[in-house]
Structure 1
Amino acid sequence: MPASIAPRKARPVDHLVLPTASLDGARERLGKLGFTVAPAGQHPFGTVNACIYLADGTFLEPLAVGERETCEAEAIRGNVFVARDQAYRFRNGEEGFSALVMGTGDARADHAAFVKAGISAGNILDFSRPFVAPDGKQDRAAFRLAFAADLRSPDAFFFTVQRVDVPKIDRSPLQNHENGALGIREIVLSEPNPTDFQYLMQEIVNERDVNAHSFGMDIRAANANIAVLTPAGLKAFLGAGAPQGERGLRLRGIVFAVHDPEKVEGLLSANGIAFERRGARIIVHPAKGQGATFAFEA
C-alpha cells in the first residue's frame, strides 16, 4: 500500500432506527421482550424516540412522529433524517427497521467521502436536544449526521453520527435488561443478489474486506457483523421470508448477545411472546412495536 494512502479503519455500529406508530406500543412490546426502555426523547424536528441502550455502547432507537406538522416542514427544508422517515412510512407502514447508523469522529469527512463515492443522501444535519437520565438529571446532547443511500434501495438508508456534545450521565441502569442482553452481535439485511451492493456497504462500514458465501456476504464493522443475505439465507438463519422478486436492500433482523438463552426462553414464555428455536438462536418475529426480527444467542 502506498505510504500516501492511509489504511481504512472500520466504523462501529452506533444504533439502529426502528420506526413505530406509537412509543407506548413499542415500550410495551419491548418491555415484554425483556428490554429496559429509556424515557422518551424529543427531537427538535418533530420526531420522538424511546431508546434501548446496551452495554456494548450500541442502542436501538424506536422512532415515532411526535409533531407531524413540524416533521413535514423540516422535510421540505431538506432535513434528510425526517424526509427518509416519512418516505419509509409511506412505503412500508408505521412499523419497521429503516436505518443502520455507524459511529464516527468526523461526520464532515464522512459526508465528503460519501459525495465523492456517489452515495451521499443529502446535506449534513446538526442538531441538539435535551437528555433526561432515569434519576431525572438533565443535560444536553449535540450530534452531527452524514447520510448515505442508494436509489436502488429506497427502503434502507444509512448515516454516520458524530457526538459533538456528550451528556455526562450514567446510563448503566438503562443498560441492565431482564433478558440479559449485552450488545448487538449482528445486523441482517436482505437482497436477492447481495454483491450488487458490495461497494455501498464497503463505503458505509469503511471496510474493504468482504466475506462472500453461498447465502450472501458478511462485512465486519468494528463491533458487529453485518450480513447481507439472499432470501434463502434469510430463511435459513432467521426463519424470515422476503417477497419473491423484491430487489434492493432491506434491513431485516438484529442478533443480540445474551447471558443465558434459557432465561430468555422462560421470560418470553411467561410474557406470552411467540418464538422459535433455530440452531443456537431464539427467534422472535416482528410485531407491533418491534419492527425487525430479533434473535438472541449466547
Structure 2
Amino acid sequence: MKKLVLFSFAVLCSSLLILPTNEAAAAVQSLKRTQVVVNNNDLDSKDILNKNNQVFFSLTSLKGLGDLTFAWNNTTKQATVKGSDTNLQLTMNNKVAQKNGSPVSLSTAPFIQNGKTMIPLRFVAEALDGSVTWNQKTQTAFVSKPSTKLLTDVKSSALSTARNAAINLPRVSQLTEDFKPIMEASSLQYYFPENTHDRFIEVNNNVIRYYKITKNTAYLKWQAFISEKTTTQDNLYFINRAFIKENGSLPNFKDTTFANFRWMPHITSTGYGLITKENWNDVVFKQAELPQTNLKENYIIVDIPEEK
C-alpha cells in the first residue's frame, strides 16, 4: 500500500451538416478550421474538406467507426465499405448509393480529391448506423457509433465495468470552446460520484472536464483551465488550484463523496480510493496493476471494495 498525493492538476446543427449560408465570413473561416472527431479520434486536416457548404471526409476515416473493410474498383470508380451487418457501395460522381443492395440517395455525390475518396460525412456516418453532431461554435463534427461491447458494458451491474464503458463512450461537446491541455499528462484522474457511472470528472494536465452520459454518449458539460495559483475550491474541493477560465455548467459537488482513480500508464497501475471534502488530502490510495487485456480496451477503472 502506498500513499499517493492527489495530483493537483489532480452541441447543434443536428439535422443537416451544412454551414449557414447567411454567415459567409464564418463559412470562409471554416475552410481552415473545420474539425471532425470520429469516436474520440481527431481526423487529420488533410482528410477533411468543406465543399459547397457541406463537410466531406476521406473514406478510410470511417475505420474509427468499427471493424470495417474497404475496397476500390478502379474500373467502375466504386468504393465499398463492409461492416458486420452493412454493405455500402458508393460510385464517384453519383448521388445514388447502395446499402445492402437497396438504393439510397445522397445530397452530394462522392468524388476524388488529391487521390482520396471524399464522401459526405453525414450520409456515410448515418448509413453505417452512426450519428453526427455539429458544433457550430467550434466548427466541429462529432461522428459517433459505440461498439456493441460498450453498449453492453455501460448497462452492466458491475460498477467498474459500467464506469470503464462510460469513459470510453464517444464524446460530444456543444460548448462554445474547446480547451486543450498544454500536453498529455503522465497520469489521468477520474472522479465518479459514489455508486454512479453516468457522470464523471476527468483531469488531464491543466484541463479539467465534467461529462454526463446521455443515450450512450458522453456529453461535455463543463471545462476549465487549471492555473499554478494555489487556492481552496468550495465545489470541486479536491482541486487545490485556481481555475483560469471556465466554460459550461457544473453541478454542486461540494458535499459529494467521490470514487477517485489515478491511472498511471508508465507503470500500468491505477490508484484508487474514496474521498470526501474532509479527508481528500489524507486518503491512503491503494494500487492495482492492470492486465494487458484491460489496457488494450482502455479499461483502467477498478473496483473499490469500500464502495457499496
The structure having more radius of gyration, on CA atoms, is 2
**Higher RCO structure, 1 or 2 (CA under 8 Å, sep 6+):** 1
Q: Which has the higher helix share?
A: 1
Given the two structures, how large is their TM-score scaled by the length of structure 1?
0.26
Given the two structures, how large is their TM-score scaled by the length of structure 2?
0.25
